[in-house]
Chain A
Amino acid sequence: NAGVTQTPKFQVLKTGQSMTLQCAQDMNHNSMYWYRQDPGMGLRLIYYSASEGTTDKGEVPNGYNVSRLNKREFSLRLESAAPSQTSVYFCASISNPGQGIKNIQYFGAGTRLSVL
């Protein structure tokens, strides 16, 4: 049981390049989330997916797209990276009602992204 797995762990991009951050969870959770963490800003929600096939914008969605490929996987795409997107990105999933203790978010190890 690996929990929430993110790849890659580190990435350096040039301005304008694109990339996809991958996230997978093996806990059969319905809902998944993408956050970005910046110094002094805490974690801010980029997008979330309440269930397979649905996605919704969070607090800071501009410049990002997401895909809920299946119940396990939720990817985050930067189509044209900008220096302002330099950040640490965390994926999370949340325990389902009736699945042990509900409403607990479990986080991946993060992806540290630098855009030059």
Chain B
Amino acid sequence: AQSVSQHNHHVILSEAASLELGCNYSYGGTVNLFWYVQYPGQHLQLLLKYFSGDPLVKGIKGFEAEFIKSKFSFNLRKPSVQWSDTAEYFCAVMRGGSQGNLIFGKGTKLSVKP
């Protein structure tokens, strides 16, 4: 079945540690890729997106992600996390011709210890 997989359910880091959250998808063809963040009690906000071009994309708050087509991956990274990055992170895929429908991964909860 076509899906979006996020490898980690819950990640716990100390401040200043580096972060990498994995995301793999199983669709062939053209895809648009997204990372959304949900802070506690809030709605989803777009962190970054990949449509085409440079596979290394930079988003808000120092986050970046790399699209590796051969691995069907779109991993999220941040060199040094802060306590305020505590949130749930969702990877999402939009397939070409899908009328804009997003398929979400199950999310990764990040807890950053001060």
Contact = CB atoms under 8 A, between A and B. Distances in A.
A27 interface: no
Interface string A12-37: 00000000000000000001010100
B94 A103 contact: yes
Interface residues of B, number: 21
B77 interface: no
A105 B47 CA distance: 12
A113 interface: no
Given A42-B90, A103-B32, A33 B106 contact: no
Interface stretch (B63-71, B78-86, B95-103): B95-103
Contact of B106 (A41, A50, A58): A41
A40 interface: yes
B100 A103 contact: yes
B43 A109 contact: yes
Contacts of B106: 40-42
Interface in A85-107: 90, 94, 103-105, 107
B100 A94 contact: yes
A105 B107 contact: no
Interface string B22-44: 00000000001010000000111
A105 B107 CA distance: 17
The interface residues of chain A, by DSSP majority, are classed as strand
B102 to A, nearest CB: 6
A40 B108 CA distance: 9
Nearest to A109: B43
Contacts of A44: 104
21 contacts: A31-B99, A31-B100, A33-B101, A33-B102, A40-B106, A40-B107, A42-B104, A42-B107, A48-B100, A50-B99, A90-B44, A94-B100, A103-B32, A103-B49, A104-B49, A105-B34, A105-B46, A105-B102, A108-B43, A109-B43, A110-B43
A8 B31 CA distance: 34
A45 interface: yes
B44 A107 contact: yes
